[in-house]
Structure formats: structure tokens, C-alpha cells
Structure 1
Amino acid sequence: MILFQILFQNKAKNLQKVFSHTFSQNIWRILPHPDPDINEWAIELRESSEKKVSFAIIDLSIPKLRWQVTPEGADWWTSLTAISNQQLFLHNYRFPDIPQPTDLLAVSSKDGNLLWALPNYVLVRTLEGQEVEVATQRGDKFQYAICDADTARLSQPSDEMKQVSSEIILKQPVRYKEKNIYFDRLMSFLSETVGISKPICIDYLDERPYMMFSYYIYEQEKIAQYLLIVTDKKDIVFHEQLSEGRDGVGQSTMLLKNGVLVYLKNNNEFSSLTFSD
């Protein structure tokens, strides 16, 4: 088993471990705040055996877990759909057999308390300021409205409403599998760098001068996942096992926002590294 971690410093940037928190429930989804200046991360958590769901906010500017709660009105089918300004937006599914949201909940990002519920409406998109666009189904068509995120007051949409800036502040890895034209090249790089052979798949992300690899390999007839960070000079600066004894590969388990890399360990541990000048 490969398990070691080195923190590296060069003239360009420092790599530092910022914060780690292990939950009792599995992490289902992670969303960063869309504002580049706000380092909050919203998390959806689930415990399948007991059909329990909760939501949490981690504030990496402090850094700490601000809260973890099951808000009023939420149940096993409730899902995290967006974070904007000072609200988390959740969708309820009143009819679990139909994969279509039916109701919208707004939760305070400060303490997790329910702010309001909007039955029969779903979130369409977040807008500039304290407004979001919502929709309700009328027969075969959807009727759209503007919702005040503080009060849930509805108004008619206008041609002047502006969506939140589409500036890309979140980077996600690209997954490479066998038969992809770049897979053999990445596999060869990993073999030369850490001595592995035949990875199942490789997730790749870069933040110069760093290159990040999340890769899956077989160990004792089960699948293990590792996170590797190297410099463009092939210096290993971080190498850590994220999970072992897996039956399959997971979805993307790392996100990069404004020099902060967030990654998932063992399905229930939120961890983060920062790339600072």
C-alpha cells in the first residue's frame, strides 16, 4: 500500500493542508459558493441504512464546520440544488417514484435554519442580487417567476434580469479511461513517477506548477483510489490513499476553486489543500 504525504514549497506557490472533517454520514454532493470571494462549501450527506439526510456548510476562510443539520421540511428525498448569497436551495420530491422535483426550500447558510418553503415551484437559476428564477408547472407548460430569496415573494420576470456571472471559478478534473488517446500517456507518467501499472481510470486536473491525478488501481482484488500531486518538474508533493476495498470507481472526487483543492476521502471525509503565493 502506498501511503505518504509530503508538503512542498517552491518559489511559485506553497501547498498547505487547510482543513479536514470526517462526517458520520456519506458525502453525496459538494457545491462551492459561486462568489469568488466567499470560501464556503455546501455539502449534502446521506446515511442509506437509516434513510437519513443532512446538509452542512464548511467555511474554509475560518476554517471550520459551521453547521450540520436536517432542516425543517427536509426528508430522505430532499437534495441540494444550489448555493447563492446567504441561502442554500433544496428540492423536495413529493412523489419519489417520479424523478422530478416538486417543491423548493431555502435554508440559511449562516445557521441551517429553514427560511421558507415554496410548494409546487422548482429552482431554474440564480440571478444577480437577492433573486432567483423559479418555475411551476401549469398543465404541459412551465410558468416562470422571480423569487425574492429573503422573503419568497414572487414577481413577474423581466427582460432585464441578469444571471449570476458565468465566470468560471470552479475547475473539475477530466476523466481518462482505457482507449482514450491520452490514457496511455498519463498511465506512462504515473508508472514513471510512482511505479504503478494498469490504472483503471485517471482523473486529471492542473493548477500550474502543479498537476493533480486521482487514479484507481486494483489492490488485493479490490479497487483503491489515490490522489497524487506533482510539480511540472516531476517532484512529488502529495501522495495519499483516498479509499480502499472499493467495488467500483466513484464520480469525480476533487474540485478546485481559487487555489483551493477540495477532495473526498473514504466517502465521508472532506479535505482541502491550498495553493498560495
Structure 2
Amino acid sequence: MAANIDAETLTSEVLQSWAQTPDERLRQILGSLTTHLHSFVQEVAPTIQEWDQAIDFLTKTGKTCTDVRQEFILLSDVLGVSMLVETINGQETPDATDSTVLGPFHMVESPGRALGDDISPESEGPRCVVSGRILSVDGSPIPNAVIDIWQADTKGFYDVQQPGTQSIGNGRALLRSDSDGQFHFRSVVPMYYPIPTDGPVGKLLLATARHPFRPAHIHFLVTAPGYRELTTHIFIGGSDYIDSDTVFAVKTSLVKDFRENPDPDDAAHYGVQSPFRHGHFDIVLHPEH
């Protein structure tokens, strides 16, 4: 490469360096990444100090990741990239339940629980029942689907954020739908909460005057043989920040009312005290082919 090479020639040479990449998809990705990244750098024209700061930010982001915290997912979330990837892939399955972000807290294995169990037995606060069905796009029930669930407590914390206060597995469950595709469980009504702000991503939000809050929600990851895996949420209607989720993940179809049910017979049926709040959420999966 010439000592006084210009920017356009440099970009061309880097693109050419990927030309023999055996994997066609990898070659496409690296070529596009090079083109857009070089264009970004030319547009912004960072100083050497600014580029060093960028490298330091990414280094600190990596060092913040642990077995129970994924700071790079958090960064992807607040940049809207996680939601963009979900939206692009969701276009292939318009008849299925809308997908949304995985989030940074799906980091431990959820405990197996029976239908109807309380998935947040250590959490204090108002109780709720969540019920629904796992269905195919043609409306037929999907029995024995695996439903992975995780949520924050009424103070806005996940189990992995409070070692010694919550046991790992509190607020989590692995359920299986019954022969009619139905499921239900008990829990606490989750609280809106801030994403972790003690790391590089939190400092980024502070520097840009953005709030760190997510509206109240419960995560679902649903799998069944012959169907595409689905990652989604149920958002609690009326929650604070429902219109300004810091990770841009709210979709109207996923917002559900958790209405108060005063019926003592219903409360007895579900094993909760009356009155309780009840949210219903049917989840539609798309066949793999």
C-alpha cells in the first residue's frame, strides 16, 4: 500500500482484502461493514483522541460483561439495533405474534415449574395471573410448547441483580403448554425499571440526556418442534414509560391490560387472593417452513 494513500483507495484495498473469503455470506457482511464504517469515519472525521475514546468505550463495555450481565446486548438495545434486527426478521412471519428484544437478563437457566405455579415466590407485592394459549398461525393449539419466562420484581430488579436478596430463578420459569396449548402462572405485577446505569451504556445515556427506563413487562421465549422460536414480551398496559421505552421495544400488539378481577371464585381457581390482576396473552408461532 502506498505511503500517502487516499481514503477512497484505502477503502477499496480493504474491500479487496475480503474478496477471497470462502463463505459468501461472510464476504457480503464484511464488505458492507467496511463500506459503511469507512463512510461513517469519513463523515464524522474523528480526532485521534475521539477514536481512542471510542475504543476505550468498547473495551469497557466488554469488560463489564459477566455471566449474568451482557453489556453489549444493552448497547445494542439502546442504539435500537436489537429492535431493528427483530423487526427485519419479523417481516418473514407477519401472522405470528410480534417479536421483540431478548434483553440483557436472559443469562441463567429458568427453573422448571408446573402450570399454575407462582414464578416469583420470593417477591412481595400485588399478585397477578397470566394466562393464554400457544397457537399455530392457523389457530390450532400447540401442545407441549416450552415457554421460558423471566421478569423483574415490584422494585424493578431481576434475580441476577440482587444476589443474596433474590435466589437465582426467582421471577423465572420453564413451563410447558397443556394438551390444548394453554398455559397460566402466578406472579407479582412487575414494575417499570431502569436498565443498569453503572456501566458504559449508562454513562452514554447520561451524556445524551436520555432516561434509562423500560415499562413494566414480562419476557417470553417460546419454542416448539416444527415452529420458529419466538422472543417476545407482554407489556403491562398503563405502565410508566410505555410510550418511551429506552430500548424501543414496545409494540402495540404486545400491550395488554392487567384488569383487576374481584371474583373470589376465580381467585380460588388460580390460587390467589381476591382481588387480583389478570392478563391474557395468546402467543402465535409460525411453522419453520
> Into which bin does the TM-score normalised by the smaller protein fall?
under 0.3
Larger Rg, first or second structure (1 or 2): 2
Q: Which has the higher strand share?
A: 1
Greater share of residues in helix: 2
TM-score normalized by the length of structure 1:
0.23
Q: Which has the higher contact order (CA 8 A, sep 6+)?
A: 2
What TM-score do you get using the length of structure 2 for normalisation?
Answer: 0.22
